[in-house]
Amino acid sequence: MNIVEDYVSNYSNFGPVIVATDFNTSCRVTDLERTNVNKSIIFSDFILRNHIIPVNASKLCDISSFTYIPTRTVLDYFLVSEELAGDVISFENIPEGTLSLTSDHLPVFLELSIPYVGNSTNDTLANKLTDTLKDCANIAIQSGSFNSKTKPYWSFEVTQAHTAERLARRKWINQGRPQGVNFNSYVEYKSAKNEFRNRQRFAYNAYMDNTYREIDEAAECDVRIFWRLISRQKNRKTNQISEILHHNRQCKSPEDISNAFADFYADFYTPTENAKFDSDFKAHVTEFVGRTLESCATNNGLLPGGEITIISWNISNIRTSNPSFADDVVCIGTSPQRLQILLNCAYDYSLKWRFEFNPLKSVILCYKTELDDVFNLGDNSVNVSTEIKHLGILRTVDLSQSTDIQHSSRKGRNAYFAIAGTGSCLLNPLTVCGLYNKIVMPAVLYGCELWNGIKPRLKVS
């Protein structure tokens, strides 16, 4: 109400004001038992303060009329300035059932006698007023464009049947919604509705048959098209974020949430600076890169070659490479002192190459015995935990395999039910087997190399 009053006060400086909207309350005494009294008092005070007249509550309007069907009250108002009150020719709340509507709010008609302005005609003024209302509606009311991908099977024949069904329904509603086969409008509406549904089902089945045929063909010749068609059949859910916490500040509006994400990624891609970073090594690397680029320029753009050596580790008589993958690093120590030495080496390496570890995402796992030692990664301590997920595999201090197997079984079930809704009953059996082997089995067997000591009585549900 405060926003509306600000608009009224502002536009009153330029001339008479007309306000038309749903106020969600009534100022009529006869409606007080069926509306919010507190809102009604605020609405009435707003009318008195701004010297505007609610035409709906004036003598021009039938006292028994209403604009809101469920409570049979007047919630939609035309408010005009006092200087326009004498220019009101007629006013009417359209009775229920007069027009075919799906809204609970009934239309309201207002006729004004507007004087000529200069050389303008009534048609010109009406066109300007209509264009202004459309522009305001486009700005204030959100709308979406037609998306053909929501119902790709929708054909011209389905559109014709749908149009005929809507026309028959409108005719049936205008005649008072009669029931029974004795009324032609009822019979025509039901017949048109049945025809529309039959054509819609036929178009949908034809579209799905064609899609499954394309999947069968793509599974044998084009893997990219195959997975594109499979992804198209999956149901997607849109996640709507209502609020997020950014820098200890709650962001609720869409603009604040967008700005929070922008700040996050701006900070994420901005190089960090730390006073402990190795400046001498940075200067050495910069000089080396410059000399390398100069060498490439004189060597047809080729980098200077050299022998590449691979550092390998021995863990329990198993020859393996450095246990690191992308930005995931594992330090293995046979004692707390040796583990702390490795952590110090990792921290020194980060200072040398100018990046920082996140201590909140770093965890210490102690197998077989409990430790009271405190581990540090630079100036921050690292928490000791009983489990951690590394590379998608859950690791626990008791080396239990049942949790891993249960987790893999759950992922396998999710993968199976994800492809079960793609119409596997209509696909070629070989295509279904390919889906199972390419989607379900990798999800189940990921990390199975670490399963050991499986008991015969282990139950997997």
| CA atoms within 13 Å, Cβ hemisphere of 213 | 6
> What is the DSSP code string of 195-229?
HHHHHHHHHHHHHHHHHHHHHHHHHHH-HHHHHHH
Our separate counts of H helices and E strands in the chain read: 12, 16
Residue that is written with structure tokens 């190459």 in the block: 353
> What is the DSSP code string of 40-71?
HHHHHHHHHHHTEEEGGGSTTS-TT--SBTTT
pTM of the model: 0.44
SS3 340: helix
SS3 434: helix
CA nearest neighbour of 212 among 426, 405, 402, 378: 426
Could you tell me which residues come within 8 angstroms of residue 414 by beta carbon, excluding any fewer than 6 positions away?
A: 443
Q: Are 435 and 419 in contact (CB under 8 A)?
A: yes
Please give the Cα distance from 149 to 438 (Å, whole number): 27
What 280-288 contacts at long range (C-beta under 8 Å, 24+ apart), as own/partner pairs, is 281/352, 281/353, 282/354
Walk along the chain (461 residues) and give the pLDDT tens digit of each residue. 788 888 888 888 888 888 888 888 888 888 888 888 888 888 888 888 888 888 877 776 777 778 888 888 888 888 888 888 888 888 787 777 777 666 788 888 888 777 655 555 667 777 887 888 788 777 777 776 667 677 888 888 999 999 999 999 888 888 888 888 899 999 999 999 999 999 999 998 888 888 777 766 666 655 566 666 666 665 555 555 577 888 888 888 888 888 888 888 888 788 777 888 888 888 998 888 888 888 777 766 666 655 445 555 555 565 554 566 777 888 888 888 888 888 898 889 888 888 888 888 888 888 777 777 888 888 888 888 888 888 878 888 877 777 778 888 888 888 787 777 655 566 677 777 777 887 788 888 888 877 765 554 544 44
What is the DSSP secondary structure assignment for residue 34, as one 8-state letter?
Answer: G
CA 138, distance to chain mean position in Å, is 23
- The pairing of beta strand 380-385 with beta strand 363-365: parallel
Q: Are 96 and 65 in contact (CB under 8 A)?
A: no
Please give the Cα distance from 212 to 217 (Å, whole number): 9
Could you tell me which residues come within 8 angstroms of residue 340 by beta carbon, excluding any fewer than 6 positions away?
A: 333, 373, 375, 376
The pLDDT of residue 117: 54
Q: How far apart are the first and last CA of the chain?
A: 58
Q: Are 247 and 324 in contact (CB under 8 A)?
A: no
Please give the Cα distance from 4 to 142 (Å, whole number): 19
Q: Are 17 and 32 in contact (CB under 8 A)?
A: no
Please give the Cα distance from 172 to 179 (Å, whole number): 10
Kindly state the helix (H) or strand (E) to which residue 160 belongs, with its residue range: helix 156-174
Exposure string of 38-54, with b = 16+ CB inside 10 Å and e = fewer, is eebeebbebbeebebbb
The pLDDT of residue 203: 92
Using CA atoms of 41, 46, 47, 51 in order, give the dihedral in degrees to the nearest 10: 150
SS3 177: coil
Could you tell me which residues come within 8 angstroms of residue 330 by beta carbon, excluding any fewer than 6 positions away?
A: 323, 324, 390
Could you tell me which residues come within 8 angstroms of residue 391 by beta carbon, excluding any fewer than 6 positions away?
A: 325, 328, 447
The pLDDT of residue 450: 74
- Where does 95-155 have alpha helices with state H? 122-140
Backbone φ, ψ for residue 309 (5° rounding): -110, 145
Q: Are 9 and 50 in contact (CB under 8 A)?
A: yes
The pLDDT of residue 202: 93
Strand (E) positions, 103-194?
A: 108-112
Please give the Cα distance from 230 to 216 (Å, whole number): 11
Which residue type is seen at 86?
G
Please give the Cα distance from 163 to 157 (Å, whole number): 10
The pLDDT of residue 133: 78
